[in-house]
């Protein structure tokens, strides 16, 4: 048993180093892999199974234990994905001759379509900040930029003033895995950021060593929770009845682009999706919207 534990621990460490250094995955992704694979390693240790003895039926039994623990199909699928990546790495490195996870089917997931705002709701939301105050100027700039670029909230709050190229209308964004991408920014969002920098930015006195554009009242980087509260409050003021999240604004950005004729590859690049299949969910959103429009307006629907 001790040899089994040492063997699994050593291989897990090698895989996580590979994921961080060679694949360049973000720290959150590495932490998620570590949690899921430690769970799998615990199962193997209790079963007394060394890695070279693992077969597909053992991985299926591991999934069954997850279901018995009350995990959802989505959570089980995430853990299976981590196990697959791990065994794929071991085969690639020549440490195993075959991949036991290859034949294991992923749990069936029901895909719920992402929620998004319509154009009128976006306009109402963007009109809420009070542009006569420094805080309102900051909030207006954040909301305009979020909708104009479709950035993740963590990306938005990592933006520095030097990341903007206002003359050509782009912003540099550091996404997942520390991958940099350039995103076009519309005139309205650029104007909102420029006004914030010119008229409101000096109110938020930066603490030493804080390079970020959007600051809290103490001069530090605005947190995700802080932004979420700001967005939720403006959503309520705008009369938006659903619980508003930053990701919902991101979904609105992508859906509205697709509705107006943008191609999926361009949207994929702007969103920072590594796989086009992730972006294709928005085609389903568009189909569902067209179906609803037809049912609501066609006389024989």
Whether residue 282 lies in the annotated active site: yes
Active-site residue, selected from the candidate residues 78, 250, 251, 256: 250
Whether residue 176 lies in the annotated active site: yes
Active-site residue, selected from the candidate residues 247, 256, 265, 298: 247
Active-site residue, selected from the candidate residues 33, 116, 234, 282: 282
Whether residue 224 lies in the annotated active site: no
CA distance linking residue 274 with residue 129, whole number of Å: 34
Active-site residue, selected from the candidate residues 152, 196, 234, 256: 152
Whether residue 187 lies in the annotated active site: no
Active-site residue, selected from the candidate residues 78, 85, 140, 273: 273
Active-site residue, selected from the candidate residues 84, 115, 172, 176: 176
Cα dist from 192 to 129, 220, 229, whole Å: 11, 21, 20
Whether residue 198 lies in the annotated active site: no
Beta-strand ranges (E) seen in the chain are 164-165, 170-174, 180-184
CA distance linking residue 78 with residue 18, whole number of Å: 19
- DSSP assignment of 67-88, as one string? HHTT--HHHHHHHHHHHHHHHH
Residues that are catalytic: 152, 176, 247, 250, 273, 282
């Amino acid at each position: 048993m001790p040899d089994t534990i040492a063997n699994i621990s050593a291989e897990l460490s090698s895989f996580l180093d590979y994921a961080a250094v060679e694949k360049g995955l973000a720290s959150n992704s590495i932490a998620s892999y570590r949690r899921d694979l430690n769970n799998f390693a615990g199962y193997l240790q209790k079963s007394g199974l060394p890695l070279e003895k693992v077969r597909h039926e053992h991985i299926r039994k591991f999934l069954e234990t997850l279901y018995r623990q009350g995990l959802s199909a989505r959570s089980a699928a995430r853990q299976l994905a981590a196990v697959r990546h791990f065994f794929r790495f071991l085969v690639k490195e020549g440490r195993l001759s075959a991949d036991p996870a290859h034949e294991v089917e992923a749990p069936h997931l029901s895909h719920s379509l992402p929620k998004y705002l319509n154009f009128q709701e976006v306009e109402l939301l963007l009109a809420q900040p009070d542009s006569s105050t420094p805080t309102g100027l900051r909030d207006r700039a954040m909301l305009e930029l979020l909708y104009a670029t479709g950035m993740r909230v963590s990306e938005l709050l990592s933006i520095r003033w030097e990341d903007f190229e206002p003359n050509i209308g782009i912003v540099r964004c550091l996404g997942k895995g520390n991958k940099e991408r350039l995103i076009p920014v519309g005139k309205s969002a650029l104007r909102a950021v420029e006004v914030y920098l010119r008229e409101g930015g000096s109110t938020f006195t930066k603490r030493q060593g804080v390079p970020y554009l959007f600051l809290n009242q103490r001069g530090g980087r605005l947190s995700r929770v802080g932004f979420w509260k700001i967005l939720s409050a403006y959503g309520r003021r705008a009369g938006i009845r659903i619980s508003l999240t930053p990701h919902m604004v991101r979904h609105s950005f992508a859906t509205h682009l697709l509705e107006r004729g943008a191609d999926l590859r361009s949207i994929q690049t702007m969103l920072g999706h590594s796989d086009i299949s992730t972006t294709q969910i928005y085609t389903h959103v568009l189909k569902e919207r067209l179906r609803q429009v037809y049912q609501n307006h066609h006389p024989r629907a």
